[in-house]
Amino acid sequence: MEYTDIEFDDVRVWIQKKRNNPQKPASWDDLMLACKKSENELIVFLDTKVEDDDWPRMSINDWKEIVIQQKKAEEETIRFGIESEAAIIHGDYQNNIVRISQDKRSSWQTYKKGLLDGGFKQQTVSEIERASLSILRRLSLDTSSTKPIKGLVIGNVQSGKTANMAALMAMAADCGWNMFIVLSGTIENLRKQTENRLFEDLNKPNCRINWYPLDHPSSRVSRIRKRMPCTLMKLITVTLLYV
């Protein structure tokens, strides 16, 4: 069974919520039984989730394997956060609890594969992953109770800024962000060039997230776009005009 398939997304989200509960985080040992007291209670829990929340049907071994994969993903995320100090972030904001998606069809994993297939060294891709995650963990999906979060990332000429930007967008898309606005300068042909590159890099055929470029945003949205699935990621590139 392929546990990274999209049908197990709700299962992984449930595990992450239990793991990241600010009041009482669940240990990995507890999660092996879904915080129940016995395997019999775990079976009842899994059957209930199938009926009530449309979870895929799983055996005890299936459940434990998914928990093990989530544990490895968390450990990998922590490792990326401490193994290198090539990129440094200054700021007062606390880190959020996002994790790197391990789904091979996620936006980040398909983009990562594209980098490696395109000739990027593993060490370079690992640093892009670490730096992008560090930035993403300073953002928030909900600013209704806090002020908006603003930041500035600075890079040298030809230092891989576009690759890092695309990586950040891919990771953010996996975590629920669904619109990205790129301020791409004052020259129209360069704006279009940036849009094409980002779209080609992110919109992989085997990715479970579909990207759609909007180069002339309008409040008049077609009925077709309104019916597009929630996995649609909107990419807006804007040419800056000065008056």
d(CA 129, CA 139): 16
Backbone angles phi, psi at 233, to 5 degrees: -105, 125
What's the pLDDT at 217?
66
The whole-model pTM stands at 0.57
pLDDT reported for residue 68: 92
Q: CA end-to-end span of the chain, whole Å?
A: 59
pLDDT digits (tens, 9 = 90+) for 140-180: 777 777 677 777 777 665 567 788 889 999 999 988 888 88
Mean pLDDT value across the chain: 78
Average pLDDT on 64-73 reads: 88
Residue type at 1?
M
Who has greater pLDDT, 134 or 48? 48
pLDDT of residue 222: 52
For the chain, the domains span 1-82
Strand pairing of 179-183 and 210-214? unpaired
The C-alpha R_g of the chain, in whole angstroms, comes to: 20
**What dihedral do alpha carbons 55, 57, 59, 65 form, nearest 10°?**
-50
| Confidence class for position 22, pLDDT limits 50, 70, 90 | confident
What number of other Cβ atoms are within 10 A of residue 169's Cβ? 24
Q: Round to whole Å and give the CA distance between 95 and 91.
A: 10
